[in-house]
Amino acid sequence: MSETRIRDRAVVIDQGFVVVQRWGIRIIVIAAALWVLGWAVGHTWMVWFPVSLAILFSTVLGPPAKRLRDLGVPAAAAAGLVMLAFLAALGFLFSILIPQLVDEAPEIADRAAKGVSELQDWLVNGPLPIEAGQISSALDSVEDWLRDSAVDISSGVLSTVGIATNVVVNTVLVLILTFLFIKDGHRFVPFVERLGGRRVGGHLSELLRRGWETLGGFIRTQALVSFIDAVLIGIALALVGQPLWVPLAVITFIGGFIPIVGAFASGAIAVLVTLVTNSPQDALIILVVIILVQQLEGNVLSPMLQGKSMNLHPAVVLMAVTAGGSLFGITGAFLAVPVTATVAEILRYANERVDKALITAESSFEPNPTDAAVDARTASVKDTEQDS
């Protein structure tokens, strides 16, 4: 008769605390490593910023350069042709659209602030009046922020690009790095695979490939979706007679690269400015158009163009944008989502490797079918001999 062993309650609780202690130490070590990494990146950001921009540009310019190489064009010539087309597009953007946005930014901010005042008056004295104390503090703070930042709003919106373009050295560095990345970037993964060896090189090359595809897919999709949003909303603004429809469309395009927060902010600015320059009816029309465009983006454009390549929950996107903006300003908000998507892809790959290891471990404990058949035949022979 087997004897049942009863474990002491204190032993069970002590083992639980051992597990908590082990994981607590691991979490502390990981947090310390992340803090050191963040500290190092923060103190060397002047180096990593142009590298980050060059990588982002390369994800967009890399596929056209690859197509040219596949057609037989030398790598240097393919990279040079793509860079010339890219510089021509940037020249058009900075010579026509961006100066107009910078010139009109103070007026946009001032009119948006006046729109906040009119919205506050309508909420207090409108058909469904709300007590002034409930909304005045929040709207007053928004209005004060818009008025105080009227001169700086253009640089704030464009700081992601402005840091690299206002300084000649950074501009030249970004362009040179972009050219080198699209010219020789396809050689980097095989080099890393050889450097990592047989055991690690394959994992590193797969992580780099997945990260590159995720980053490139995000940038290209966001650029296309932001362009469609800006065109549709710009057409609506032009049809209602909004005199600032071009800079507002540019703000919509730039805001599209900051998911959720950027679309909300650029849409609110467009509605508030239209409320002041036109009429409440026109502002309501623009609001309806923005809502429809956002629904089109969220339910049709992004799923169709991007599919499940990102596979990030909206709450994760919002937290990433908030954290990036708090730590590194508008640049951090811009880079937060692609960085988070790349990290998520790395975690998915690690999860796949863990699952594969578990399946391999489980299959190693299963009996070999051939051995099982042999054992069955042997047992059958023994039974026959015993019966005889």
> What does the longest C-alpha to C-alpha distance in the chain come to?
107
Return the amino acid letter for 226: S
Residue 262 CA to residue 258 CA, distance in Å, equals 5
Across the range 94-115, mean pLDDT stands at 66
> Quick check: 379 pLDDT over 60?
no
Residue 142 has phi, psi (to 5 degrees) of -65, -45
Contact 61, 184 (CB under 8 A): no
Closest CA to 272 of 109, 98, 61: 109
Residue-wise pLDDT for 329-367, tens only, equals: 777 777 787 888 888 888 888 888 888 888 876 666 555
Residue 326 CA to residue 333 CA, distance in Å, equals 8
Residue 176 CA to residue 181 CA, distance in Å, equals 9
User: Interhelix angle for 261-277 vs 245-255, to 10°?
Assistant: 170
Question: Please, what's the b/e burial string for 294-326 (b: 16 or more CB within 10 A of its CB; e: otherwise)?
Answer: beebeeebbeebbeebbebeeeebeebbeebbe
Split at pLDDT 50, 70, 90, the class of 280 is confident
Q: What mean pLDDT is reported for the chain?
A: 75
Residue 139, class by beta-carbon neighbours within 10 Å (0-12 exposed, 13-18 middle, 19+ buried)?
middle
Structure tokens belonging to residue 51? 């590298």
Residue-wise pLDDT for 3-33, tens only, equals: 566 677 888 888 889 999 999 999 999 999 9
CA distances from 388 to 79, 115, 238, 380, 381 (A): 85, 103, 101, 12, 11
User: Interhelix angle for 98-125 vs 261-277, to 10°?
Assistant: 70
Across the range 150-169, mean pLDDT stands at 48
Residue 1, class by beta-carbon neighbours within 10 Å (0-12 exposed, 13-18 middle, 19+ buried)?
exposed
Query: Domain ranges in the chain?
Result: 45-357
Residue-wise pLDDT for 190-238, tens only, equals: 888 888 787 788 888 888 888 888 888 778 778 888 888 888 988 998 8
